[in-house]
Structure 1
Amino acid sequence: MGTTIWELDFYSRPIFDENKKKLWEVLICETPLDMTRSPESLFKFSKFTNNKSVNSIWLREALEEAIAKAAYAPDRIRFFRRAMNNMILKACEEADIPAIPSRRTYALNQWIAHRMDRFYPTQAGYDEESAKATSIKYPPLNAVPLPDAVRGDRTDKWAFVSLEAEAFTEMTDWEIGFSEVFPLEMIGITPEMKIPWLIIFSPRATPLAAWMSGLELAFLQFEKGQFPRLRLETGSSDSWILADIKDDKTLAEANGFENAKEKVNNIHFLAIQSSPDSEAFAGFWLLKEDL
């Protein structure tokens, strides 16, 4: 078995017990690391508890139960919920599994949305008003410049492009250095849909891709306003200034990129190549902005 990653959430759900207290639930699902992987084949685990058992001990025991069910332990665990940071980190540490704050929990987000829509409303004790208050809205982050070692110079170029989803069936034949993707069907993408890209061309393609591979890449976002720029969101709360937008042509392309994202459930790619003539990718990531 290659690298395996799990995504974890532990939080209260819009379901009340007989004591009028919210039930808590741990959700664990496998991160799909292959574009051809069937979403139905992903490992999933869920378990409810009452509010009196909300602690790292219960969570560690639930995690160990999930490991026993899967018959393997993941190499690491991703989680997005900042409010549960300390408890999740402690439980995972006690289970001897590295845990990483990350917004790259796409499979988990899809599963939570499905349960909010289809599963929780069917359960005894479900409260619709409580469900409306469970959405997570974090304040915008202040973006910072890229580290000097990977910051672009005048030799770097970049381009906004798009490609039909069907073309990615040939991705296994591409020469790619650092990458992470997931099944497009998991997000409801059909073969004819056009996926927007940002391609960075840089003589420092490999070190730039290596640096990005060490981050939990979440999504690209065009920030409009007085000083328009393209941001790279990583981890659970990090934001980087990938490029400042200074001319009308690039501004129009950046707006087009954001519009194209909206048409395909905010799916997009970030690619890195040494030059436009290169047939290899130093880096290639499939990203999704969750609103």
Structure 2
Amino acid sequence: MGKVWELDFYSRPILDENKKKQWEVLICETQTDSQGSLEDGFRYAKFCPPSTVNSIWLREAIETAIEKAGEAPSKIRFFRRQMNNMIVKACEDAGLVATPSRRTYTLNNWLDERFQDFYPSQEGYNETAAAANASVAYPPLNAIALPDAVRGDKSDKWAFVSLEASAFADMSEWDIKFGEGFPLELANIPRDAKIPGFIIFSQRALPLAGWMSGLELVSLKFQPKPLPILSLETGLSDSWILASLTDKSSVVEAQGFDNTKNNAQGVHFLAIQSSPDVEVFSGFWLLKDDH
């Protein structure tokens, strides 16, 4: 499987001589090593005049990026719902798969850097336009039950846990069947920080992890009302009921998970194992709250 890229194509807070916003395409490689450097992966940026904003220009930019990278990605993630049609068409015309996703952690970090350091130094920068830039986040849909094919039974167990950030130094060597990480550098996590997580123990661990691997996993969220649940956020706005919190102790644990997650800049993880006695992870994903 080839590398995954993340793409954004949108207006920037830089005005041209006609007071029109410049557009820009950003393409970067998804970083999956929890101890990796953000500077290691491929990056490509190009400004687009507002008069030529279309799928043809974007396709040509993607093809140029492929030429510079020396290889095509297996898929391209993008987060801007309002750009869906143009991005999907440009990618399809370039022979690529475009996937709507909030799991664009590397790209989000790069955008934050550019809004803070790069765009303000450019001629034509407009602070008002910068403040109006669209957020990554979309209101999630109401959480729904997991499909019957992967829903657990009474023998399934789960637990809220935590690991020190330093434990992820060896993540690339763990026995993980399905999963994905990202550089903890994205959130400036110190090595002694506690990273909270949620582990599911199920005899159907592998089918569950395989099904989840087909989704764009974003984050876990504790929702206290109307009934306390832990939801799994995927795609652009999908939400699944991962666990119903039916007693006070589980609610207290979920609140503790939420507090630890906030202290870890939104970083957390989801793990799936067949039992607590095995060292193999059927699934393991590093996650991060979207903006």
| TM-score grouping bracket, smaller chain normalisation | over 0.9
Q: Identify if the C-alpha distance between structure 1 residues 251 and 39 changes in structure 2 by more than 3 Å, giving closer, same or farther.
A: same
- After alignment, is 97-106 or 32-41 more displaced? 32-41
Residue of structure 2 in register with 1:24 after alignment: 23
- 3-state DSSP class of the match of 1:39? coil
TM-superposition CA deviations, 1:72-113 (whole Å, max 9, x none) = 111110001100001000000000011111111000000001
Q: Identify if the C-alpha distance between structure 1 residues 172 and 23 changes in structure 2 by more than 3 Å, giving closer, same or farther.
A: closer
**CA contact under 8 A between 2:219 and 2:234: conserved in structure 1?**
yes
Distance in 2 between the 1:133 and 1:33 partners? 31
1:203-222 → structure 2 map (5 Å cutoff): 203-222=203-222
1:6-17 → structure 2 map (5 Å cutoff): 6-17=5-16
Amino acid at match of 2:102: R
Q: TM-score normalised to the size of structure 1?
A: 0.97
**CA contact under 8 A between 2:2 and 2:72: conserved in structure 1?**
no
1:252-263 → structure 2 map (5 Å cutoff): 252-263=252-263
Residue of structure 2 in register with 1:180 after alignment: 180
- 3-state DSSP class of the match of 1:10? strand
Distance in 2 between the 1:133 and 1:227 partners? 35
Identity fraction in percent: 61
TM-superposition CA deviations, 1:179-227 (whole Å, max 9, x none) = 1111212321121111101000111101000100111111111112231
Gapped runs of 5+ residues in structure 1? none
- 3-state DSSP class of the match of 1:149? helix
Amino acid at match of 1:112: L
Q: TM-score normalised to the size of structure 2?
A: 0.97
Distance in 2 between the 1:152 and 1:133 partners? 44
Gapped runs of 5+ residues in structure 2? none
Distance in 2 between the 1:38 and 1:117 partners? 20
Distance in 2 between the 1:43 and 1:37 partners? 13
Distance in 2 between the 1:94 and 1:173 partners? 37
Let me know the Cα RMSD of the aligned residues.
1.2
Aligned pair 1:168/2:189, yes or no?
Answer: no
Residue of structure 1 in register with 2:127 after alignment: 128
- After alignment, is 171-180 or 217-226 more displaced? 171-180
Distance in 2 between the 1:226 and 1:215 partners? 26
Distance in 2 between the 1:286 and 1:131 partners? 30
